[in-house]
Amino acid sequence: MDEIKRVLDEVRSDNISGSGTLLQELTTGLLTLCTEEQDTPEISSQELLYLFASFRDEMNDFAVVSHFCNYIIENIEKENAELPNLISVISKYIEKWRDINDRVTEAFLNSVDIRSKTVLLHSQSSTIISLFKKFKEISHETVIIQTESRPVLEGRKQAEELAQMGFHVNIVTDTGFTPLLDKIDMAILGADRIYKDHFINKTGSYAIALLCREKNIPVYVLADSRKYLKSVYTDTKPEKLRTAGEVWNDPPESISPVNYYFETVPIKLVSEFFSEKDQ
């Protein structure tokens, strides 16, 4: 049980990666653990149910992580309290969703031409990385404007990955793209959860969407079907306040840093959403 907690804690402590990468860290860590423990760690099914239900509720900002946890919980419950073979269960999930980012990006590239365009990106997304991995086979002429994404600066990591692919990347502060708006042809965002009237993404996404509407710049959102929660009209759960010290460590008296990672963005500000179902 302690080893599974360690894997969950490592994923929980990653405050830089997007949901797709967090899921990969989770499945890889669990598979490695199960292999070392000869298929199934020594833990009761009730203990496992509690661990994954608690982790799902804590990580519910990330729909794909919640989706995976629900899948594990359903498989444990099917076994009537007999612990399933976790290697088999996890491997089936990985296989089903293996090429999901490629399928989302293919749907997008079949509809939107980004050759020789200037594209605004925000924060970090494994789907966006997959998009440009696929696109580099066609052209490197696209110019990228990437926000650094305060407060943990995960946009810089994405900028490095894109630059290594051969793209020219202009890194800017979260609102530092505004002097470049007249040069931007489109903004491409990821999403962590999508509801009927809004979606959830990294703070700064709302400002990008508003300014792009003001300048008639299309905003596209790429996200696989696990992130679509449109049976729910809106998410009434308040966003979590994060560590204040990430914004300003040890500020002067009477200054209180406010640190939210995520925010809601109205659906009406998005030109089009793309998932693997749009292929």
Asked if 61 contacts 262 with a C-beta cutoff of 8 angstroms, the reply is yes
Query: Coil, strand or helix: which one is 258?
Result: coil
Site of tokens 């404007």: 145
Measured distance CA(202)–CA(151) in Å, rounded:
11
**DSSP state, 260?**
B
- Is there a catalytic annotation at residue 2? no
Catalytic residue among 174, 192, 224, 235: 192
Which parts of the chain are beta strand (E)? 118-121, 143-147, 168-172, 186-189, 193-194, 198-202, 219-222, 262-266, 272-274
Measured distance CA(273)–CA(266) in Å, rounded:
12
Asked if 8 contacts 34 with a C-beta cutoff of 8 angstroms, the reply is no
Measured distance CA(238)–CA(263) in Å, rounded:
9
Asked if 187 contacts 220 with a C-beta cutoff of 8 angstroms, the reply is yes
Cα–Cα distances in angstroms (integers) from residue 169 to residues 27, 138, 164, 254, in the given order: 31, 17, 10, 39
Two structure tokens written together for 214: 């003001």
Residues noted as catalytic: 192
